[in-house]
Amino acid sequence: MTLKFFTETLEQLQQQGQFRQIPHLQHQGKWIVRDGRKMLNMSSNDYLGLASNDLLQQQFLQKFAENLPHFTSSSSRLLTGSFEIYSQFEQLLAQRFQRQAALLFNSGYHANIGILPAVANKKTLIVADKLVHASLIDGIRLSEAEFVRYRHNDMQHLADILAKKHRTFERIIIVTESVFSMDGDCADLSALIAFKCQFDNVMLYVDEAHAIGVLGETGLGLAEQLGCIADIDFLVGTFGKALASMGAYLVCEQVIRDYLVNKMRPLIFSTALPPFNVAWSYFLFDQLHALTQPRQHLAQLSQHLRQALVDMQCEMPSSTHIVPYILGDNHLTVKTAQHLQQQGYYCLPIRPPTVPKGTSRIRLSLTADMTAEELEQFIDCLRREIK
Ligand SMILES: *Cc1c(COP(=O)(O)O)cnc(C)c1O
């Protein structure tokens, strides 16, 4: 029968401990309720704790009073879906990043599957870090470019590839995340930028999904922290994580923005985000520079959790708020996550193909609305688990 293939595939996934389901959840601030159990959310992307900040939501609604922005754009921005708030926000972004231009997208996924196919062609080589996010891989696959991956953060490997290939291609685009989503380690942006000086046909694409809001003096990401915003050709980030909204941005040169408006299919052929949503992103991004207190608190919590895991002899690639507890085996990871959930911590197992085989893990992510005491209790619980 025609369904046999699908049931068999699902059974296989079940046997491998890789079967996925969408959970039923209720949200109460930093807690999550699942199957009647209230748990501290240890898997959130709401890094600054803005998503459950009622005061911000009230301020936002009061600002507009009866004049709420539209709840739909009803069209692509290139037709009738263009609203003033879009260009106002793009101007704010360009100004804060001190770059020529910015462009908004419906999500980080849209950005990554849209920009690369638009800017790369048959004469382009895309060289990506082995661990880049699925959305970047999909973008690369949709493009006509040739594609090579370098070993994770291995600058020598990348240098070898560039030396060998740079004459064969018109353009080479190096693609990386700034903070890696599963290991919480950082790309060596300075080394990547150095390649742009060494080879004149190299461009740099950096996805700051997990760093925007969290890193940098004013929260603009790892590129701000390292003082290299101006050196990145395609600087991408999302509003869905620390910025507690939905959508994504690119900051770039004006000519790149003009080009994408003409060539980028997810921008041209999809209904633009609701102006209401863009206004909310604007409202939060506008205050980002002032959120130094939650950023510092998050950095302290993260440092403490990483050190605790190192003390428990755990492998620790992370230098950020994303802290993997790597167990290796799929089933053991699932069991440990369940056990932690029973003790009141919403921990989730991450398995292949999301991470390389044999590196299944619990991806702990911290948020600024957790207290030091809550983290300490969690660490005690983890200690008992590891013994
Ligand atoms: C989450 C994520 C995305 C996708 O962003 P969305 O706005 O959720 O679509 C892209 N890149 C990376 C590295 C991510 O972690």
Ligand 1 within 6 A of CB of 30 = no
Q: Residue 240 CA: which ligand 1 atom is closest?
A: 7
Q: Residue 17: what pLDDT?
A: 74
Residue 240 in contact with ligand 1 by CB distance below 6 A: yes
pLDDT digits (tens, 9 = 90+) for 254-293: 999 999 999 999 999 999 999 999 999 999 999 999 999 9
Residue extent(s) of CATH 3.90.1150.10 domains in the chain: 22-53+291-386
pLDDT of residue 358 exceeding 80? yes
User: Which residues are registered as beta bridge partners of 38?
Assistant: 33
Q: Which atom of ligand 1 is nearest to the CA of 247?
A: 7
| Contact indicator for 205, 177 with CB cutoff of 8 Å | no
* pLDDT score at 90: 98
Residue 22 C-alpha to ligand 1 middle, in angstroms?
Answer: 18
Q: Mean pLDDT, the chain, as a whole number?
A: 96
User: How far is residue 316's CA from residue 322's CA, in Å, rounded to a whole number?
Assistant: 11
Tally of residues, the chain: 387
Q: What is the pLDDT of residue 170?
A: 97
Residue 123: what pLDDT? 98
**Is the pLDDT assigned to residue 386 strictly greater than 90?**
no
Calpha distance 296→277 (Å, rounded):
28
Q: Ligand 1 center to residue 72 CA distance, Å?
A: 22
Mean pLDDT across 215-221 = 98
Which residue lies with its CA nearest to atom 4 of ligand 1? 108
CA distances (Å), origin 125, targets 81, 121, 140, 256: 34, 8, 10, 18
How much is the CA Rg of the chain, to the nearest whole Å?
A: 21
What proportion of the chain, given as a percentage, has pLDDT over 90?
94
Amino acid at 187: A
Distance 133 CA to ligand 1 centre (A): 7
Which atom of ligand 1 has the smallest separation from the CA of 133? 13
Cα–Cα dist 155/206, whole Å? 15
Nearest to 173 by CA among 184, 186, 162: 162
Tell me which architecture the domain covering 69-289 has in CATH. Answer: 3-Layer(aba) Sandwich (3.40)
Q: What is residue 354's predicted lDDT score, i.e. its pLDDT?
A: 87
> Looking at residues 336-357, what average pLDDT do you find?
93
Q: Is 114 in the pocket of ligand 1 (CB under 6 A)?
A: no
Ligand 1 contact via 133 beta carbon (within 6 Å): yes
In sequence order, what are the residues at sequence separation of 6 or more whose Cβ sits closer than 8 angstroms to the Cβ of residue 338? none
Q: What pTM was estimated for this model as a whole?
A: 0.96
- Is the beta carbon of 248 within 6 A of some atom in ligand 1? yes
Which atom, in ligand 1's list, is nearest to the CA of 109? 9
Domain at 22-53+291-386, CATH from 3.40.50.720, 3.90.1150.10, 3.30.479.30, 3.10.129.10: 3.90.1150.10
Rounded Cα gap, residues 161 and 142, in angstroms: 22
Q: How far, in Å, from the CA of 57 to the mean position of ligand 1?
A: 23
The encoded tokens of residue 159 equal: 């240098």
Residue among 106, 133, 235, 239 whose CB has most ligand 1 atoms within 8 A, to mutate = 133
Tokens encoding 359? 């590196």
Choose one of 113, 241, 277, 355 to mutate for the ligand 1 pocket test, by most ligand atoms within 8 angstroms of C-beta.
Answer: 241
Residue 55 has pLDDT above 80, yes or no: yes
Q: Residue range 61-77: average pLDDT?
A: 94
Count CB-CB contacts under 10 A for residue 386.
Answer: 13
- Ligand 1 pocket residue status of 45, Cβ below 6 Å: no
pLDDT digits (tens, 9 = 90+) for 1-25: 799 999 999 999 999 877 889 999 9
In degrees and rounded to multiples of 5, residue 224 shows phi and psi of: -70, -45
Question: What tens digit of pLDDT does each residue of 110-135 get?
Answer: 999 999 999 999 999 999 999 999 99
Least Cα distance to 294 among 52, 94, 132 occurs for 52
Listed in sequence order, the DSSP H helices in the chain are: 4-15, 54-64, 84-97, 108-119, 134-142, 155-165, 189-198, 222-225, 254-263, 265-268, 275-287, 292-311, 330-342, 372-386
Cα angle, residue 175 at apex, residues 169 and 181 outer, rounded to 5°: 165
The residues of the chain that CATH labels 3.40.640.10 are 69-289
User: Residue with the nearest Cα to atom 5 of ligand 1?
Assistant: 108
Q: What is the pLDDT of residue 122?
A: 98
Is the pLDDT at 69 greater than 90, yes or no? yes
Q: Average of pLDDT values for 220-238? A: 98
In three-state secondary structure terms, 383 is helix
Higher pLDDT, 65 or 206: 206
Active site residues: 45, 133, 177, 181, 207, 210, 241
pLDDT over threshold 80, residue 342: yes
In this predicted structure, the answer to whether residue 65 has a pLDDT above a threshold of 90 is no
> 109 CA distance to ligand 1 centroid (A)?
6
What is d(CA 106, CA 103) in angstroms, rounded to the nearest whole number? Answer: 10
Q: Partners of 265 in the beta sheet?
A: none
pLDDT above 80 for 387 = no
224 CB near ligand 1 (under 6 Å): no
Most ligand 1 atoms within 8 A of CB, residue of 43, 178, 238 to mutate: 238
pLDDT at position 161 over 80: yes
Whether pLDDT at 330 is above 80: yes
Which residues are CB-neighbours of 90 under 8 A, at least 6 positions away?
101, 102, 103, 104, 249
Mode of pairing for the β-strands spanning 345-346 and 37-41 = parallel
N- to C-terminal Cα separation, the chain: 49
